A and B are shown apart, each in its own frame.
Chain A
Amino acid sequence: MPLPSVLEKTKMVENKNMPLDVKLSPKDFVTDQDIRWCPGCGDYSILKQVQTVLPELGLKREEIVFISGIGCSSRFPYYMETFGMHSIHGRATAIASGLKATRPELSVWIVTGDGDALSIGGNHLIHLLRRNFDVNILLFNNEIYGLTKGQYSPTSPEGKITKSTPLGSLDHPFNPLALCLGADGTFIARSMDRDPVHLREILKRANQHKGTSLVEIYQNCNVFNDGAFELFTEKSTKKLETIFVEQGQPLLFGEHKEKGIKLDGFKPVVVELKDVSANDLWIHNESDPLKASLLSRFFDSSSYLGHLPRPFGVFFVQDRPSYESQMANQIEEAIKSKGEGDLDALLKGKNTWTI
């Protein structure tokens, strides 16, 4: 008798006494563990938005897996009533790759931070993106090392004074979205902890995308790097310093959306809407890699681009077959052309002799 496959086994162990699927609510995703993040940490909001969005995605709880590395953000799986793994520093992306390769039907979420994803785990991140496994990466960026108590991170600005850089950091920071676009990520987006509505929207979009979805989430570390993103989150400055991009819509910002971005050749320039027609503005197109690349460069003020508002939203989406689907195809093709593997034939090989 052929042995059952893993999936058949999964069905076999499923208990028939369990209640039929009822509509899940956010509290179905809450675990009995005390949350140990510092009071006021931006992670609380992100956790809440994830727990709020999940019931709306039509997934079964047992099909969801959260995998994290090390860092404050990486405690996340302990607080999610799903399958989860709190792994080792920087490797969540690699672990998730192996899981998704072998269990494509699962919904796999990676929770990571700027140190975990971009420093110690930088290599795995770029390779995951180019391979395009269908997983969601939530990259909590707080521009600091929180769990080790306040050293600069690969996204900290140059000159940052921290415990390990009393005279200022010499490191030039990563621009995470430019990096991920460079690695040919197929879904690149940015949101923030303090805009729950926007974050939930982006999480849903990330889930929909078939391929690796990378969501950078600006997250405030109120203990070691308080206010790192306050330009983008505080009422007094948010409207002038941020720009929320939407597919097919012109790039508008300002107190009353009175400003826009226009492209002067390849150079984005800030214009007053009263001076130009909205049709002349940069219209956001998620499928344009060059525009996405330019958008990712709305970063720290540069002498070339000048000061620009920081974009949030989905920068780029591309349809590209996922690694796991191609892997499954290869196996299917191999079986088609050679027949299902026969262990006895394999052990025997082509050249034998009898004694």
Chain B
Amino acid sequence: MSKSHEIKKNVVILFGGDSGDGIQLTGSQFTNTAALFGNDISTFPNFPAEIRAPQGTLAGVSGFQLHFGSVELYTPGDACEVLVVMNAAALKTNIKQLKPGGIIIANTDGFDNKNLKLAKYPDGVNPLKDGSLEKFKVTEMDVSKLTKTCLADSGLGTKEIDRSKNMFVLGFLYWMYNRSLESTIDFLKEQFKKRPELIDANIKVLKAGYNFGDTTETPMMRYQVEPAPMEKGVYRNMIGNQATALGLIAAAKKSGLDLFYGSYPITPASDILHELSKHKNFGIKTFQAEDEIAAISSAIGASFGGNLGVTASSGPGIALKGEAIGLALMLELPLLIINVQRGGPSTGLPTKTEQADLLQAMYGRNGESPVPIVAASSPSDCFDAVFEACRIAIEHMTPVFFLSDGFIANGSEPWKFPQSADLPVIKAKFAKAPEKAQEKYLPYKRDERLVRDWAIPGTKGLEHRLGGLEKENETGNISYDPDNHEFMVKIRAERIERISHYIPLQQIDNGKEKGKLLVVGWGSTYGSIKTAVKECIAEGMEVSHIHIRYLHPFPKNLGEILSRFDTVLIPEMNNGQLIKIIRDRFLIDAVGLNKIKGMPFTTSEIKSRMLELLKK
């Protein structure tokens, strides 16, 4: 049978298997290979909270969705064309994601009686055999057996052989999409450099998978996905949490400050700690504290000492840090608080995504305690957004929230990385000792931005005391005076408001300056909104999109932009949080679109709501 290459603009592959099957690795390897080839990509890893949920069960299914194409892509895709399933549970969990006519690649070994039972199929029912998958193209292969045969002479144990079966699948997909094995081979050489026998074994299986496609009568065509017409430049693949870590390092470098990162492990923020701790040769100090409170407190101590103090967590940890954020605000010290949001409340959905901590960032402290908020909109945007958040913290002497979420933290996309020389310099303003020795240093004296100077220990003549108690302006002495308290509350609010003069104006991402419908987004909904709006505009509709990075304070022109549209739609992965702030601030009757499923919006969900509103 001849195997021609059909040209595809874009393809979504969903890898599904047991959390021990190496699904995330398989997905990320395909991602790197596709990226290196020049495709645009967008990925969405989706895994269970349990590290190793019981094998073969529905709870243990780990997924990795990869969208790659020869066109610009902004989302991991609403549905997939190819579903790779290592067992019955993975099929059952993910089949609804597969488009009609889509391809299923099934590991038949994962469909034995035991696996079918674990996936809760009724007795005697095997979806591969009962015709229920008729509307799809099913390719069955006994991956486990093929891998075992391939490695029969390797001298490896059964477990190790079984572990390399993901390489067979990967090799087969490389064949399907006509990809080079090179980057994965390089990866394997690096990954197992201490165990050469595993390098050989994995490469052998990878090639076997590729050759399996080539030599067997696989009733399936091969596909060609050409490189995407992206902006000229040098690219790399970038994961959200990694971009956040690099953004912190860059901000430290460009401010001339040393970076201190105090953190307590929590999903999905821990990878930032892992990434930073790899780069100690940048002088970075990472500190795994005993709890969330110690994590932020240590960062406050570091900031007091003149460092860029950073702490990160997810919702539950941020709740614990609340009091210390209030302290940093009273001390008027730079501090960055990263919240990689996940499904809440309480422990909630640790591995699922949500945007439900905006109001926590905005209001989640005692007293009048305004904190600037900056949110990232995509994996690589985490770099720019966290850099900006650091800039505001340092230049305005305030704790700042940086919001990311599980979706962009684990997702990836190509990144046209900047040159360090092109990044702006961040200017910390250190206090100078008073001219005359007898002059008293005033720790809360402010400049025109209402920002005080940073007076760090070790500087002669600047000895002073800071604290969480209400203080007199300028001297910083404890004060219970009623008028002073009101004055200080207002000045703390005003100095945050004034930051709006030092951030860019709100840009319109797509569409015209005014019109019928404006879609307002923030954070990780960017890709879905971008795609939906783009499609609507292409279909001739009068719609526009803005995506708000600076959530507090808002850009100065935001209200004015909102007023130019008949309808404002605010899609959020929560029960309506930005919409509350917008309504409160601008008194407009914005319309919400809320999804609270621990999953990102699909483009069609947003588009259909837009169409409904446009019909009115």
From B11-19, B162-170, B415-423, B540-548, the one touching the partner chain is: B415-423
Given contacts A78-B465, A87-B327, contact A97 B38 (CB under 8 A): no
- B220-250: CB near A (< 8 Å → 1, else 0) gives 0000000100111111110000000010011
A102-B430 in contact (CB<8A): no
B458-A103 in contact (CB<8A): yes
Interface residues of B in 398-439 (CB under 8 A from A): 417-420, 430-437
Residues on the A chain within 8 Å of B573, using CB = none
Residues on the A chain within 8 Å of B298, using CB = 94-95, 97-98, 101
CB-CB nearest in chain A for B458 = A10
Q: Pick the residue among A63, A86, A94 that contacts B467 (CB under 8 A).
A: A86
From B253-261, B488-496, B588-596, the one touching the partner chain is: B253-261
From A1-9, A152-160, A219-227, the one touching the partner chain is: A1-9
Nearest CB of B to A37, in Å: 14
Chain A interface, number of residues (Cβ within 8 angstroms): 70
Bound together, the chains give a CA A260 to CA B260 distance in angstroms of 51
Residues on the A chain within 8 Å of B32, using CB = 351
B300-A17 in contact (CB<8A): no
Bound together, the chains give a CA A330 to CA B464 distance in angstroms of 32
A347-B420 in contact (CB<8A): yes
Chain B interface, number of residues (Cβ within 8 angstroms): 83
Interface residues of A in 320-355 (CB under 8 A from B): 327, 330-331, 334-335, 337-341, 343-344, 346-349, 351-355
B291-A123 in contact (CB<8A): yes
Bound together, the chains give a CA A131 to CA B430 distance in angstroms of 31
B260-A81 in contact (CB<8A): no
Bound together, the chains give a CA A67 to CA B433 distance in angstroms of 22
Bound together, the chains give a CA A221 to CA B36 distance in angstroms of 71
- A139-183: CB near B (< 8 Å → 1, else 0) gives 000000000000000000000000000000000000000000000
Residues on the A chain within 8 Å of B36, using CB = 351, 353
Given contacts A17-B436, A347-B418, contact A353 B463 (CB under 8 A): no
A97-B287 in contact (CB<8A): yes
Bound together, the chains give a CA A349 to CA B414 distance in angstroms of 12
B464-A106 in contact (CB<8A): no
Most buried by A among B231, B281, B287, B418: B281
Interface residues of A in 1-43 (CB under 8 A from B): 3-7, 9-10, 13-15, 17-19, 31, 33
CB-CB nearest in chain B for A349 = B236
Residues on the A chain within 8 Å of B297, using CB = 87-88, 91, 94-95, 97-98, 124
- B305-347: CB near A (< 8 Å → 1, else 0) gives 1110100000000000001101100010000000000000000
Instruction: Tell me if B299 counts as interface (CB < 8 A to partner A).
Output: yes
Instruction: Tell me if A62 counts as interface (CB < 8 A to partner B).
Output: yes
B464-A127 in contact (CB<8A): no
Residues on the A chain within 8 Å of B183, using CB = 351
Q: Pick the residue among A14, A65, A347 that contacts B433 (CB under 8 A).
A: A14
Nearest CB of B to A334, in Å: 4
Bound together, the chains give a CA A330 to CA B232 distance in angstroms of 40
A346-B279 in contact (CB<8A): yes
Q: Pick the residue among B246, B285, B459 that contacts A346 (CB under 8 A).
A: B246
Bound together, the chains give a CA A9 to CA B254 distance in angstroms of 15
Instruction: Tell me if A96 counts as interface (CB < 8 A to partner B).
Output: yes
Q: Pick the residue among B234, B327, B457 that contacts A352 (CB under 8 A).
A: B234
Instruction: Tell me if A55 counts as interface (CB < 8 A to partner B).
Output: no
Instruction: Tell me if A117 counts as interface (CB < 8 A to partner B).
Output: no
Residues on the B chain within 8 Å of A106, using CB = 305, 457-458
A9-B306 in contact (CB<8A): yes
B233-A354 in contact (CB<8A): yes
A88-B260 in contact (CB<8A): no
Instruction: Tell me if B302 counts as interface (CB < 8 A to partner A).
Output: yes
Nearest CB of B to A96, in Å: 6
Instruction: Tell me if B537 counts as interface (CB < 8 A to partner A).
Output: no
Nearest CB of A to B4, in Å: 27
Nearest CB of A to B363, in Å: 19
Q: List 19 A-B contacts (CB under 8 A).
A: A3-B256, A6-B456, A13-B431, A62-B457, A82-B463, A84-B466, A85-B466, A86-B465, A86-B468, A95-B298, A101-B301, A106-B305, A335-B283, A343-B250, A344-B420, A348-B234, A348-B236, A351-B183, A351-B237
Given contacts A99-B301, A341-B279, 11 further A-B contacts (CB under 8 A): A3-B253, A63-B458, A81-B463, A91-B294, A94-B289, A94-B294, A96-B301, A98-B297, A347-B250, A351-B35, A353-B234
Interface residues of B (CB under 8 A from A): 32, 35-38, 183, 227, 230-237, 246, 249-250, 253, 255-258, 260, 262, 279-285, 287, 289-291, 293-294, 297-307, 309, 323-324, 326-327, 331, 417-420, 430-437, 456-469, 477-478
A-B pairs, top 10 by smallest CB distance, nearest first, are A98-B301, A3-B256, A98-B298, A341-B282, A86-B467, A94-B297, A99-B301, A334-B280, A15-B433, A94-B294
